[in-house]
């Protein structure tokens, strides 16, 4: 462990004790200049002075020598609330928390991506574990005491009266805590990660997460995140806006690495005891620095304290534990611990199956699991996410690439074909007009789909740490292609490292929005590169061309087999009217659904779009699919956008460059002429009327 410099350590002990350098020098029988030289690092005390220094600081000589802990009594841990702005400005919540959809899948994606970005030892995977922990009875009361609930409860009561969106969420969180006498915690632990290193207020990982917004502070250009928004999903997942943190550091701070603890509370503007507060509050030790007097800073907690706060970690491996207090799925998709466990497992599998895939000589980047506890006891088995279980064909394709076992042409069902896909990366504008761009060669892997694959015949795209960025359906493959799975590895996901790889990685990172869920035109992209949108369009076209080189060959071989008369009988000819509709109109490509507990149809719908210059404005219509007579139309109780679309007053808005979109909807039970279980449903889309301003 790296020792803290004696002068830095001594200066902090004097501030903690409220003792001036002059007073300390007088009690030692020295001049103030001598003590000042120690504090500034210009000199070091003689060994014979160490016992007396330890006595004055109420500690032992070993502590003065090793400086691995603070001397004297521990300063009281308490909450510090930021006072309201003097100019009268008010924030009724953290805007960054609304940059993402509020659900557990988004939380799992953002939190895990941040952990992957901080991978420490490249020979080992990052290990991340999600723990759902319900507290009741004395376990709940003990936790609230450790949290100093009595000190913050008045602030919650005031915030709940605000009437704003965050205030309503806080009110619901308080109601659940008081009426149900239970509290759900969600802890996210990562290991083999950097931990929240760095100073309390200056540049570093700690300040970026705990004290700042829109500060990504990524230590590597291989990072998946780049906006500094993902951490806000932690607080958004708490009904109480409260997250506690315990970090084991990879680099010592103040001479220590273990149990750096702090809490952050995000509430809307409020007034308590005639004093107005701006919003955030921090749980910590009162800072002894004069310029931060009264502010709560992180503290080095003992093992009992982290246990009381349910923040204890397994072993000394660096990393961070985030405890979301009052966890919930704001989208309402899951309410029970088992449903939440399933949602987390599915989200981890969908977004990080590639990062969890291992080759013979290539370690996985990530290991992930989810467990469920009640008052410290396991109530459901811990589930480790296995990509071979959730994405067997895709994992097989990537493993073949990692092991160098790909082929150029598919001739057997267990083979994986690989083909290069060029991405022409323009030179950044900052390099001048004469600078030349580079050609990055991404890798497209293709293999036959597994029989269990519900979704297939799409290209799953990724870069960096191999998190799924987007999944796109290729164009112009023709009829007759067997179901396939395809993975596009771009940038560092290829496992290669040269100037073109760096350029491709930077270009695609700039093409991602804060959600990192697609490659498209962003302000960052167009500000950094000239002619960037066309390069992206060409890249998508190159993917489709490369895919046709593999899948198209299989179609040609199949069509060449057998007598010509049989091939003619098996040819599929679309009616002219239907062909025109596919070419010029949006169509419902896939509808999945089930009847929920309330008797409503819960539907998941994928739409397909032809090329068009203008945005689409569509009205989705759901009807009972009866055997005879007219199909009764039903009303929607709720519509939600999932991919490549927005919902506005019952309309689906889709940008012209999108070729597919996905939304979910729930029918209004009151509009059903018969029970949902007695009839199927169909979904149609109609062109919405233009809205005049």
Rounded to an integer, the average pLDDT of 574-599 is: 66
pLDDT for the residue 219: 54
Tell whether 19 is covered by a domain: yes
Q: Is the pLDDT of residue 579 over 80?
A: no
| pLDDT at site 423 | 97
- Higher-pLDDT residue of 300, 222: 300
Name the helix (H) or strand (E) containing 50.
helix 50-56
Whether residue 482 is contained in a domain is answered as yes
Q: Among candidates 616, 455, 614, 611, which has minimal Cα distance to 541?
A: 611
**How high is the pLDDT of residue 483?**
87
479 and 622 share one domain: no
Residue 161's pLDDT is: 87
Residue whose entry in the numeric block shows the structure tokens 């199949």: 558
- Which residues partner with 245 through β-bridges? 262, 322
* Letter string b/e over residues 473-490, b meaning 16 or more CB atoms within 10 A of that residue's CB: ebeebeeebeebbbbbbb
Determine the number of helices (DSSP H) and then strands (DSSP E) in the chain.
20, 26
Residues present in the chain in total: 693
**Most distant CA pair in the chain: distance in Å?**
110
pLDDT value of position 529 = 94
- Give residue-wise pLDDT tens across range 200-249: 888 889 998 998 775 555 555 555 444 445 688 898 899 999 999 999 99
CA distance 640 to 604: 10
- Whole-Å CA distances, 109 to 100, 186, 225, 467, 514: 11, 15, 11, 9, 12
CA distance 331 to 348: 18
Say how far apart CA 359 and CA 498 lie, in whole Å. 22
What does the mean pLDDT of the chain come to?
85
Q: Identify whether 574 is part of a domain.
A: no
Q: Got the DSSP string for 374-396?
A: ETTEEEEEEEE--HHHHSHHHHH
**Percent of the chain whose predicted confidence (pLDDT) is above 90:** 49
Give the residue ranges of DSSP H helices in 403-467: none
Range of the domain at 24: 6-66
Q: Per the structure, how many domains does the chain have?
A: 4
Which pair of tokens denotes residue 604? 């998941």
Residue 32: strand, helix, or coil: helix
* pLDDT for the residue numbered 100: 55
In this structure, what are the phi and psi dihedrals at residue 361, rounded to the nearest 5 degrees?
-120, 15
- Residue 222 and residue 178 in one domain: yes
Domain end call among 368, 389, 410: 389
Q: What local confidence, expressed as pLDDT, does residue 78 receive?
A: 92
Q: Which residue is it, tokens 């949006």?
A: 586
Does the structure show a pLDDT above 60 at 650? Answer: yes
Confidence class for position 84, pLDDT limits 50, 70, 90? confident
Q: In terms of domains, do 294 and 350 share one? A: yes
Predicted local confidence at residue 313, as pLDDT: 96
Q: How confident is the model at residue 434 (pLDDT cuts 50, 70, 90)?
A: confident
Q: Quick check: 573 pLDDT over 60? A: no
Select the highest-mean-pLDDT range: 266-280, 341-355, 444-458: 341-355
3-state class percentages of the chain: helix first, strand second, coil last, to nearest 5: 35, 30, 40
pLDDT at 394: 95
Which of residues 332, 356, 389 is at a domain's end? 389
User: What is the rounded distance in angstroms from the CA atom of residue 31 to the CA atom of residue 22?
Assistant: 8
Q: Report the CATH number at residue 234.
A: 3.30.565
Range with lowest mean pLDDT among 220-224, 452-456, 479-483, 629-633: 220-224
Could you report how far apart the first and last alpha carbons of the chain are, in Å?
Answer: 65
Residue 478 pLDDT more than 70? no
Which of 290-294, 615-619, 684-688 bottoms out in mean pLDDT, i.e. has the lowest? 290-294
Nearest Cα residue to 466 out of 566, 404, 387, 381: 387
**DSSP 8-state assignment for residue 251:** S
Structure tokens given for 330: 């704001």
DSSP 561: S
Residue 89 lies in a domain: no
35-44 long-range Cβ contacts below 8 angstroms, 24+ apart? 38/6, 38/7, 38/10, 39/7, 39/10, 39/11, 39/14, 40/7, 41/5, 41/6, 41/7, 41/8, 44/6
Residue 399 in contact with residue 387, Cβ under 8 Å? no
Percent of the chain with pLDDT strictly greater than 70: 88
Q: What is the CATH number of the domain that holds 20?
A: 1.10.260.40
Looking at the predicted structure, is the pLDDT value of residue 556 above 70? no
Mean pLDDT across the stretch 369-395? 95
Whole-Å CA distances, 524 to 100, 239, 419, 437 = 19, 33, 30, 18
Residues 605 and 501 in one domain: no
pLDDT, residue 437, reads: 93
Question: Which of 96, 91, 264 has the alpha carbon at shortest distance from 164?
Answer: 91
Say yes or no: 591 and 527 in one domain: no
Whether 73 is in a domain gets the answer no
Asked whether residue 467 falls in the same domain as residue 515, the answer is yes
Assign residue 562 a region (left: φ > 0; alpha: ψ between -120 and 50; beta: otherwise). Answer: left
Task: Provide the pLDDT for residue 574.
Answer: 34
- Cite the DSSP H helix spans in 391-517: 392-402, 499-510
Q: Residue holding tokens 């950097």?
A: 194
CA angle 515, 520, 523 (to 5 degrees): 80
pLDDT at 560: 42
Whole-number Å distance between alpha carbons of 115 and 127: 9
The C-alpha atoms of residue 487 and residue 638 are separated, in whole angstroms, by 34
Contact call for residues 459 and 488 (beta carbons, < 8 A): yes
117 in the same domain as 195: yes
Q: Could you tell me the two tokens for 459?
A: 């290209």
Contact 301, 246 (CB under 8 A): yes
User: At 571, is the pLDDT very low, low, confident or very high (cuts 50, 70, 90)?
Assistant: very low
**CB distance 244 to 259 below 8 Å:** no
Would you state the pLDDT for residue 551? 86
Write the pLDDT tens digit of every residue in 62-82: 878 888 777 765 678 999 998
pLDDT for residue 10 is more than 60: yes
Q: What is the torsional sign of CA 374, 377, 379, 382?
A: positive
Mean pLDDT, range 391-420, rounded to an integer: 93
Query: Is the pLDDT confidence value at 415 over 50?
Result: yes
Q: How many CB atoms lie within 10 A of CB 387?
A: 24
User: Lowest mean pLDDT: which of 37-46, 121-130, 543-552, 676-685?
Assistant: 676-685
Mean pLDDT of 662-682: 87
SS3 of residue 8 by DSSP: helix
Q: How far is CA 225 from the centre of its chain?
A: 9
Domain membership of residue 571 (yes or no) is no
Closest CA relative to residue 459, chosen from 386, 400, 546:
546
- Higher local confidence (pLDDT), 609 or 263: 263
Residue 276 and residue 129 share a domain: yes
CA atoms within 13 A on the CB side of 123: 0
Burial of 112 (0-12, 13-18, 19+ CB in 10 A): buried
Q: Which of 126-135, 196-205, 326-335, 393-402 is the least confident region?
A: 326-335
Residue predicted with more confidence, 359 or 481: 359
Q: Residue 314: which pLDDT band, with cuts at 50, 70 and 90?
A: very high
Task: Give the pLDDT of residue 183.
Answer: 95
Please state, in angstroms and rounded to a whole number, the distance separating the CA atoms of residues 648 and 337: 32
Q: What mean pLDDT do residues 144-162 have?
A: 93
Q: How far is CA 613 from the centre of its chain?
A: 33
Same domain as 476, residue 415:
yes
Same domain, 226 and 349: yes
Which residue has better confidence, 510 or 66? 510
Domain shared by 236 and 199, yes or no: yes
**Residue 233 located in a structural domain:** yes
Segments in 2-132 forming alpha helices (H): 6-17, 21-28, 32-39, 50-56, 61-66, 104-117
Mean pLDDT of 173-178: 91
Alpha carbon 574 to chain centroid distance?
Answer: 44
- Per the domain annotation, does 529 fall within a domain? yes
**Spatial CA neighbour of 190 closest among 396, 355, 358:** 355
Residues 200 and 334 in one domain: yes
Q: What is the mean pLDDT of residues 129-149?
A: 96
Distances (CA, A) of 199 to 84, 249, 251, 298: 25, 12, 11, 10
Phi and psi dihedrals of 243, rounded to 5? -135, 130
Q: pLDDT (tens digit, 9 = 90+) per residue, 257-275?
A: 899 999 999 998 889 999 9
Per the structure block, which two tokens stand in for 237? 């997942």
pLDDT confidence bin for 281, thresholds 50/70/90 = very high
Look at residue 561 in the predicted model and tell me its pLDDT: 41
Q: What is the pLDDT of residue 92?
A: 63
Distance CA 82, CA 211 (A): 12
> The domain that contains 644 carries what CATH number?
2.60.40
CB within 8 Å of 333: residues ≥ 6 apart: 103, 104, 339, 343
pLDDT band at 553 (very low <50, low <70, confident <90, very high): low
Of 13-27, 166-180, 642-656, the range with the lowest mean pLDDT is 13-27
Boundary of a domain, candidates 513, 528, 560: 560
């Amino acid at each position: 462990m790296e020792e803290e410099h004696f002068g830095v350590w001594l200066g902090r002990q004097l501030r903690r004790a409220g003792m001036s350098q002059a007073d300390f020098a007088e009690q030692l029988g020295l001049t103030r200049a001598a003590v000042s030289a120690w504090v500034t690092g210009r000199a070091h005390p003689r060994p014979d002075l160490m016992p007396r220094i330890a006595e004055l600081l109420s500690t032992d000589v070993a502590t003065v020598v090793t400086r691995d802990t603070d001397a004297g009594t521990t300063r009281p841990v308490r909450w510090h609330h930021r006072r309201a702005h003097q100019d009268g400005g008010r924030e009724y919540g953290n805007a960054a928390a609304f940059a993402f959809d509020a659900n557990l899948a988004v939380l799992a994606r953002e939190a895990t991506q941040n952990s992957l970005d901080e991978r420490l030892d490249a020979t080992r995977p990052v290990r991340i574990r999600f723990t759902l922990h319900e507290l009741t009875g004395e376990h709940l009361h003990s936790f609230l005491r450790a949290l100093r609930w009595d000190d913050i409860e008045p602030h919650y009561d005031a915030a709940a009266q605000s009437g704003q969106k965050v205030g309503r969420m806080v009110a619901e969180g308080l109601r659940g805590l008081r009426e149900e006498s239970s509290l759900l915690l969600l802890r996210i632990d990562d290991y083999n990660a950097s931990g929240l290193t760095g100073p309390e207020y200056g540049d570093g990982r700690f300040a970026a997460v705990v004290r700042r917004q829109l500060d990504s502070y990524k230590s590597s250009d291989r990072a998946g995140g780049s906006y500094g928004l993902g951490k806000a999903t932690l607080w958004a997942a708490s009904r109480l806006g409260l997250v506690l943190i315990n970090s084991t550091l990879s680099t010592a701070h103040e001479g220590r690495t273990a149990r750096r603890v702090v809490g952050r509370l995000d509430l809307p503007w409020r007034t308590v005891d005639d004093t107005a507060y701006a919003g955030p509050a921090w749980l910590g030790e009162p800072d002894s620095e004069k310029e931060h007097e009264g502010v709560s800073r992180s503290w080095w907690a003992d093992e009992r304290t982290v246990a009381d706060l349910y923040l204890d970690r397994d072993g000394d491996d660096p990393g961070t534990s985030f405890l979301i207090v009052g966890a919930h799925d704001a989208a309402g998709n899951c309410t029970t611990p088992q449903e939440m466990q399933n949602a987390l497992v599915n989200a981890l599998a969908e977004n990080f199956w590639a990062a969890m895939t291992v080759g013979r000589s290539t370690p996985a980047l990530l290991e992930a699991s989810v467990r469920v506890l009640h008052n410290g006891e396991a109530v459901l088995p811990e589930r480790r996410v296995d990509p071979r279980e959730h994405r067997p064909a895709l994992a097989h394709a990537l493993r073949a690439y990692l092991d160098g076992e790909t082929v150029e042409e598919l001739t057997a069902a267990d083979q994986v074909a690989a083909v290069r896909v060029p991405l022409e990366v323009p030179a950044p504008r900052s390099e001048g007009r004469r600078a030349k761009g580079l050609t990055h060669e991404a890798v497209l892997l293709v293999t036959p789909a597994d029989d269990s694959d519900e979704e297939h015949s799409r290209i799953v795209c990724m870069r960096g740490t191999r998190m799924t960025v987007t999944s796109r359906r290729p164009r112009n493959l023709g009829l007759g292609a067997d179901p396939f799975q395809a993975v596009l590895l771009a940038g560092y996901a290829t496992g290669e490292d040269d100037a073109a790889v760096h350029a491709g990685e930077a270009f695609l990172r700039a093409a991602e929005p804060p959600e990192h869920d697609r490659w498209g035109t962003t302000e960052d992209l167009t500000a950094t590169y000239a002619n960037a949108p066309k390069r992206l369009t060409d890249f998508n076209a190159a993917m489709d061309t490369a895919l046709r080189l593999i899948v198209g060959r299989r179609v040609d071989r199949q069509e060449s087999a057998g007598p010509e008369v049989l091939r003619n009988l098996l040819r599929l000819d679309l009616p002219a009217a239907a062909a025109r509709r596919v070419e010029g109109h949006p169509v419902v490509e896939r509808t999945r659904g089930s009847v929920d507990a309330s008797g409503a149809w819960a539907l998941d719908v994928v739409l397909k779009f032809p090329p068009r210059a203008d945005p689409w404005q569509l009205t989705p219509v759901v009807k009972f699919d009866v055997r005879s007579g007219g199909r009764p139309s039903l009303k929607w109780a709720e519509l939600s956008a999932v991919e490549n679309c927005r919902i506005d007053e019952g309309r689906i808005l889709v940008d012209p460059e999108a070729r597919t979109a996905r939304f979910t909807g729930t029918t209004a039970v009151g509009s059903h002429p018969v029970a949902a279980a007695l009839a199927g449903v169909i979904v149609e889309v109609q062109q919405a009327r233009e809205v005049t301003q």
